[in-house]
Structure 1
Amino acid sequence: MSGGGPAGKVTIAGLAGRLGMSKASVSYALNGQPGVSEPTRARVLALAAELGWYPSSSARALSQSRSDAVGIVLARSPEEVGSESFYMNVLAGIEAVLSEHDMNLMLRMVTPSPARLDLDVYRRWAGERRVDGVIVFDSFSDDPRPPLLSGLRLPHVLVGAAGDAGPTPFGANTPVDQGADAATVVEAFHARGHRHIAYVSGPLGLTHEAARRAGIHSHASRLGMTAVFSASDYTADDGGKATTAVVAGLAPGSPDFPTAIAYGNDLMAMGGLRALKRLGISVPGQVSVLSWDDSILCQLSSPSVAALARNTMELGRRSAALLLETIAGHQSANVAMPAGVLHARESLREAVQAAP
């Protein structure tokens, strides 16, 4: 006997007919709603499993006022997202958790612009109930997204924002202690005799970059070191340009020449290596290089590049798990990430002392 529906497709009406029950009772049983006894629910689920029936995700979403989807809006180009290991690892961690809970991921990339097209996406998603919550990347000073999302009553988690961000009734954070990581970087340089260092950062407005710069400045001052800074956009080409700006007009061995340069990500570190080679400056003979993000690029480059291993995939997992807790109505609480661990490689060596 068929389960009902076109071409033998199993339907609720077909299940109800086979079981001699009303369609409403079958629907309640299949969707975990009250109104039927446990023995009845068991009978319905057993027949559904036997016939290979699965509930319609759209119908379930309507009945539960849930979309079973999480949204991410990135104000980055697809090329940037695809080439930067940080995003790929975090997204992989997020997807791993969502798949365990049968949740979908909606990823939207918008062109960065003063019009803030990403805000329109959040408003549309909330108005159409397209997502149950969102994960927010790249927090920056006076960021309009957290207040907007709270006003929309849309659960959200900030990935690695400054430690004082959240929690709020609808939002939380997976903070990274940038000060602790900055101490690791500066102390690694100091232990190898470096006294004048540089940091090539990402965009200055990002809260995690502001925290890194502050941490580098603070720890360098504490250890009697000096630090200079140059901003980039996280790409290899711009990292190379920022490196050139840092060493422009300075001869290796001169008092103001930075003998160690840290980079905000692996791509900028690769661009820095190229720029230093073009300038005839050897790594690590004259300059040590360190990346704030570890990746296969750092491991396979020549020389291999020292880096902070920060387990960015775990950052994605924790962010997704925290968002699901917030969506479920549990009290939001920030979930901190552990400090990064330095992987010293060929690019990190003792400083060549400046000429007297």
Structure 2
Amino acid sequence: MPAKRPTIADIARAAGVSTGAVSYALNNQRGVSENTRRRIHEIAATLGWVPNTAARVLSGGPAGAIGLVVDRPARVLGIEPYFMQLISGIQAALAGGPTSLLLQVTDNAPAQLAIYRRWWAERRVDGILLVDLLVDDPRVELVTDLGLPAVILGEPQADLGLSSVWTDDEKAMAFVVDYLTTLGHREIVRVAGPEEFVHTQRRTAAFLAATAGLPGARVLTAADYSDDAASRITRRLLTGQRAPTALVFDNDVMAVAAVGVATELGLDVPGRVSVVAWDDSALCRLVRPALTAVRRPTAERGAAAVTLLLHPGDGPSQVKTADPELRVRSSTGPA
């Protein structure tokens, strides 16, 4: 037979106080002394009492959760380290507190919007984190209309009226191009992620600005961030005319796949082609040759977004993380 769940009445009996006093103490309301409040919390912890979330929500209290929806096919998400780094930062900020993370994965935009509507109607979350901001993103209008607090993990856009936590990708891209051109590279190709993402467009704009005057510099857009997409593009580039001497990929999985294709074709990395990855991870360090990569403070972004969501200011805030760093390894060399 399952153990009986402790109640406020059980705590009151153990503490020798009324149930009202216990309620005041556990809800951090006035009506009891600090010593009594502390003693009641200690007894509650000893008994293993946890708040009844459903009852708290029905009475107008917080849901005790924040939501994150990742709109990526499961096959892609399962091999992409970026989101694990992000979630580790989110969980670090939530650790030891009363708020938990509610995570769902979808593979289409309408399903994502439906999840937000359901969470709002059922009062499942106190706010949400928005990732992969789209151009003219319908999520922004929806959460604004619903009055659902939200923080964007992405570049600040003041006209959206939402807080955001962002990293300076433009600066990182300019640094990558400067590094490659210093090595003598002129035929540089950026292999970008889906172009509907705001961060894709901003990185592309920064790349084109940094490579202005280099006739061999160009951008190719992949359908997704998968190894399959990167393999197809890399094979086409390295076997075609005007083969590039350097490739810059939008994530680590794509860059690892590119190294594999070059090896299959008998092309030396970095002797024949240099490869740079975005979002440094264990994959970049373990593959051979180890990948030169842009390291962004991804976990820091997740933690900062949680703090901003749970402790908002008087208006939208734009929080900038530490700048990215270029970790130079064995996959890049002179042209």
TM over 0.5: same fold? Answer: yes
- The letter for the 2-side match of 1:148 is L
Task: Write the letter of the residue equivalent to 1:266.
Answer: D
Q: Which amino acid aligns with 2:182?
A: A
Where do residues 172-321 of structure 1 align in structure 2 (5 Å cutoff)? 172-221=163-212, 224=214, 226-232=216-222, 233-250=224-241, 256-321=242-307
One-letter amino acid matched to 1:241: R
8 A Cα contact 2:71 2:108, kept in partner: yes
Asked if 1 retains the 8 angstrom alpha-carbon contact of 2:57 and 2:123, the reply is no
* Unaligned residue ranges in structure 2 (runs of 5+): none
The question of whether the paired residues in 2 share the 8 Å contact of 1:298 and 1:306 is answered with yes
Conserved in 1, the CA contact under 8 Å of 2:71 and 2:107?
Answer: yes
5+ unaligned residues in a row in structure 1: which ranges?
A: 1-5, 251-255, 352-356
CA distance in 2, matches of 1:225, 1:306: 24
> Displacement of 1:21 after TM fit?
4.7
**What code does the residue aligned with 2:106 have?**
V
1:340 aligns with 2:334: no
Shift of 1:215: 0.4
Residue matched to 1:253: none
Separation in 2, partners of 1:209, 1:52: 48
Distance 1:296 1:18 in 2: 51
Give the alignment partner of residue 107 of structure 1, picking from 103, 106, 116. 103
> What is the TM-score with the length of structure 2 in the denominator?
0.91
Partner SS state of residue 279, structure 2: coil
> 1:166–1:172: 8 Å Cα contact kept in structure 2?
no
**CA offset digits 1:49-87 (Å, max 9, x no partner):** 554544334434444521110111111133322210111
User: Does residue 30 in structure 1 map to residue 26 in structure 2?
Assistant: yes
Q: Matches of residues 40-79 of structure 1 in structure 2 within 5 Å?
A: 40-42=36-38, 44-45=40-41, 47-49=43-45, 51-63=47-59, 65-79=61-75
SS of 2:219's equivalent? Answer: strand
Contact 2:166/2:301 (8 A) holds in 1: no
C-alpha change, 1:93 and 1:42, in structure 2 (3 Å) is closer
Aligned partner (choices 81, 99, 118) of residue 85 of structure 1: 81
Distance of aligned partners of 1:142 and 1:23 in 2 relative to their CA distance in 1, 3 Å threshold: same
2:329 corresponds to 1:350: no
Contact residue 126 and residue 149 of structure 2 kept, 8 A: yes
> Which TM-score applies when normalising by structure 1?
0.86
Q: Aligned in 2, Cα 1:236/1:28: closer, same or farther, shift over 3 Å? A: same
Matched residues in 2 for 1:186 and 1:46: separation? 57
Distance 1:135 1:330 in 2: 18
Determine helix, strand or coil for the equivalent of 2:276: strand
Larger Rg: 1
Aligned to 2:28, the other structure's residue is in SS state coil
2:125 maps to which residue?
131
Which is further off, 119-128 or 20-29? 20-29
Length, aligned pairs only: 333
State yes or no: 1:147 paired with 2:141: yes
| Post-superposition CA distance 1:80-133 (Å, at most 9, x none) | 2221011110011111111232311111111225xx110010011011100001
- In structure 2, relative to structure 1, the CA distance for the partners of 1:42 and 1:341 (3 Å cut) is closer
Residue 178 of structure 1, CA deviation: 1.8
What secondary structure, in the 3-state scheme, does the structure 1 residue paired with 2:101 have? strand
**Structure 2 Cα separation of the partners of residues 101 and 19 of structure 1:** 24
Q: Is the 8 A contact 2:169 2:324 kept in 1?
A: no
Give 1:325 deviation, angstroms: 1.5
For 1:85 and 1:180, how far apart are their aligned partners in 2?
Answer: 22
Does the 8 A contact of 1:197 with 1:228 survive in 2?
Answer: yes
| Local SS of the residue matching 2:157 | coil
1:156 aligns with 2:150: yes
- Write out per-residue CA displacement over residues 151-210 of structure 1, whole angstroms, 9 at most, x where no aligned residue: 111111111x22325672xx3111222210111110010110111200011001111110
Whole-Å separation in 2 of the counterparts to 1:21 and 1:155: 38
Evaluate the alpha carbon distance shift between residue 20 and residue 289 of structure 1 in structure 2; reply closer, same or farther with a 3 A threshold: closer
Partner amino acid, structure 1, of 2:318: N
SS at match of 1:147: helix
* Counterpart secondary structure, 2:218: strand
Within 1, Cα distance between the matches of 2:302 and 2:26? Answer: 32
